[in-house]
């Protein structure tokens, strides 16, 4: 049942190689990792190595890598939903538990979780850890051994994205409370807590040791822990808009759960598992606030796990509550398809990506450079990488303009890339509002001197992908191109 729901929710993304900029880049890094390039050393990013290993594994299975990683994501989504059902069926009706699993699957599409964003993957080990903790909460005996397994899973999740550390701290604190209730005191409790902390940190320590053995500990530490300190603060208006979007997406299921709690319908603070789930919800919300990134709703996806588990507690009993739970799932499935179609119309899909890739095709004469646009173009056009910083935002946005954020002066690196005379340069119109004006001016000076706007591909009613080719090699097809005056506006 859960697999069928997941296929119904996600099937139309399988043939779209450009559903999300982040995951396009993750696949690029995973693919180049298979061919010998080392994340943090040869390709810069701040995500942990575990995420890139997942994408490398998907890419290594053969066939179309853009389809393979989505199939891997599908497996993770279904497995996560199965664990939600397992955790909730102890105190909820079987149908209500199934509703909770289906709710998780359906609601992902509303939060840009239709593909392979990092939470799609790390939610599975976090849910598995939560399942172990709820088991040990219900049963007697020492939680030391089960807690060690659970915190190891948290550590694995941290190697997909470090933001889960705050939820992991809550999990550890809950285990300490459970151990205290089971009679552990002083040195015994300290030993358990030390073991759990060690288990949570072990995967990261292993990754660091591997990089140290390769002679790249400095690059690992900078990319994983220090570079984020150099990032600029996001635009306040954009952040508020994003937070409002997240609140709107979660409002209906949140209201349903709160209504059930106020009515004491299968949800009570007297139940220790319910208290754990409520505390987990608070920890996930605190993690989101402390991370302070609201531009994309996918940052709030960790909230779906405890929310789905709490929803199961209130979706059973009366026919009205069962109907409301089913209606939420149906709403998520339908609205999710609308969101996918809206994204396709606004950002483009396989056809548009192929057109841009053909126009930028280097034909083995050198590298293309994606200043702003689909990171997937490096794979679709079979291009080499012109820089260690191939994610477009790293060299072109205000947030990344501090050398402490990248380990290099982005303007100096952009100047170096442009001096290599890439075969084609890809840009977007309209310009990204968070772009770095100095980087734009540097790019425009190079385009004026050496390049021709050869092709423009419209990927939405208000979006055009611009492909510039070297002046002496350009094959010009100027359809859909903005005027020169519009292109220069804002420089």
Over residues 10-20, the pLDDT tens digits come to: 999 999 999 99
Contacts of 67 (CB under 8 A, 6+ apart): 14, 15
- For residue 22, give every residue at least 6 positions away whose Cβ sits within 8 Å of its Cβ, in sequence order, or none: 117, 118
**What's the rounded mean pLDDT across residues 453-478?**
87
- pLDDT tier for residue 139 given thresholds of 50, 70 and 90: confident
User: Rounded CA gap, 232 and 295, in Å?
Assistant: 14
Q: Could you read off the pLDDT of 257-306 as tens digits, one per residue?
A: 888 766 555 556 668 898 999 999 999 999 998 888 888 899 999 999 99
Q: What is the pLDDT of residue 419?
A: 97
Residues 89-123: tens digit of each pLDDT = 988 888 999 999 999 999 999 999 999 999 999 99
Residue with tokens 């705050």: 166
Share of the chain above pLDDT 90, in %: 76
What residues have CB less than 8 Å from 132, skipping those under 6 apart?
146, 147, 149, 150, 153
- Mean pLDDT for the stretch of residues 446-470: 93
User: Is residue 391 a contact partner of residue 330, using CB atoms and an 8 Å limit?
Assistant: no
Average pLDDT, the chain: 92
Does residue 252 carry a pLDDT above 70? Answer: yes
Where helices occur in 263-399 by DSSP H, the ranges are 272-291, 304-314, 319-347, 350-360, 377-380, 392-396
Q: What is the structure's pLDDT at 184? A: 83
Helix (H) or strand (E) holding 43: none
Q: How far apart are CA 152 and CA 242, in angstroms?
A: 32
Interhelix angle 2-10/319-347, nearest 10 degrees: 30
The residue that leads in pLDDT, 489 or 419, is 419
pLDDT band at 481 (very low <50, low <70, confident <90, very high): confident
Question: What is the separation of C-alpha 435 from the centre of its chain, rounded to a whole number of angstroms?
Answer: 21
Round to whole Å and give the CA distance between 450 and 425: 11
Q: Which residues contact 489 (CB under 8 A, 6 or more apart)?
A: none
Q: Are 15 and 65 in contact (CB under 8 A)?
A: no
In order of 59, 65, 179, 205, 318, the CA distances from 30 in angstroms are 7, 10, 40, 21, 48
- The burial of 174, by beta-carbon neighbours within 10 Å (0-12 exposed, 13-18 middle, 19 or more buried), is given as buried
Q: How far apart are CA 234 and CA 237, in angstroms?
A: 9
For residue 432, the model assigns a pLDDT of 85
What are residue 426's DSSP bridge partners? Answer: 370, 467
d(CA 333, CA 336): 5
Q: What does the pLDDT read at residue 9?
A: 96
Provide the CB-side half-sphere exposure for 271 (13 A, CA): 17
């Amino acid at each position: 049942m859960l697999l069928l729901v997941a296929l119904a929710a996600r099937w139309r993304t399988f043939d779209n190689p450009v559903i999300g900029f982040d995951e396009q880049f993750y696949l690029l890094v995973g693919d180049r990792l298979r061919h010998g390039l080392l994340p943090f050393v040869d390709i810069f990013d701040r995500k942990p190595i575990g995420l890139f290993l997942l994408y490398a594994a998907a890419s290594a299975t053969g066939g179309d890598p853009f389809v393979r990683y989505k199939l891997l994501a599908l497996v993770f989504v279904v497995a996560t939903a199965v664990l939600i059902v397992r955790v909730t069926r102890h105190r909820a009706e079987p149908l209500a538990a199934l509703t909770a699993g289906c709710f998780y699957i359906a609601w992902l599409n509303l939060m840009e979780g239709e593909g392979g964003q990092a939470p799609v993957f790390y939610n599975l080990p976090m849910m598995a850890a939560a399942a172990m903790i709820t088991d040990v909460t219900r049963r007697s005996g020492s939680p030391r051994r089960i807690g060690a397994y659970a915190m190891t899973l948290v550590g694995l999740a941290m190697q997909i994205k470090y933001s889960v550390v705050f939820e992991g701290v809550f999990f550890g604190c809950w285990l300490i409370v459970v151990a205290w209730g089971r009679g552990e005191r002083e040195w015994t409790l300290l030993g358990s807590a030390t073991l759990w902390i060690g288990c949570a940190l072990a995967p990261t320590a292993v990754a660091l040791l591997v990089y140290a053995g390769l002679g790249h500990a400095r690059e690992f530490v900078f990319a994983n822990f220090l570079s984020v300190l150099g990032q600029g603060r996001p635009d306040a208006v954009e952040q508020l808009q994003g937070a409002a979007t997240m609140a709107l997406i979660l409002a209906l299921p949140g209201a349903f759960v709160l209504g059930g709690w106020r009515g004491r319908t299968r949800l009570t603070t007297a139940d220790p598992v319910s208290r754990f789930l409520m505390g987990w919800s608070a920890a996930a919300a605190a993690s989101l606030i402390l991370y302070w990134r609201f531009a994309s709703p996918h940052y709030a996806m960790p909230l779906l796990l405890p929310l789905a588990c709490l929803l199961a507690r209130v979706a059973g009993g009366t026919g009205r509550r069962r109907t409301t739970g089913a209606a939420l799932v149906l709403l998520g499935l339908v609205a999710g398809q609308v969101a996918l179609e809206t994204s396709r119309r606004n950002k483009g899909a396989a056809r548009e990506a192929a057109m841009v890739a053909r126009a930028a095709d280097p034909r083995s004469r050198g590298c293309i450079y994606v200043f702003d646009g689909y990171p997937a173009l490096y794979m679709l056009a079979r291009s080499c990488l012109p820089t260690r910083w191939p994610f477009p935002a790293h060299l072109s946005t205000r947030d990344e303009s501090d050398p402490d954020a990248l380990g290099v002066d982005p303007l100096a690196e952009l100047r170096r890339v442009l001096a290599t005379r890439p075969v084609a340069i890809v840009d977007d119109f309209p310009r990204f509002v968070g772009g770095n004006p100095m980087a734009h001016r540097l790019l425009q000076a190079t385009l004026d001197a050496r390049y021709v706007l050869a092709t423009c591909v419209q990927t939405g009613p208000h979006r055009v992908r611009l492909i510039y080719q070297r002046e002496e090699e350009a094959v010009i097809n100027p359809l859909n191109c903005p005027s020169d005056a519009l292109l220069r506006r804002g420089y």
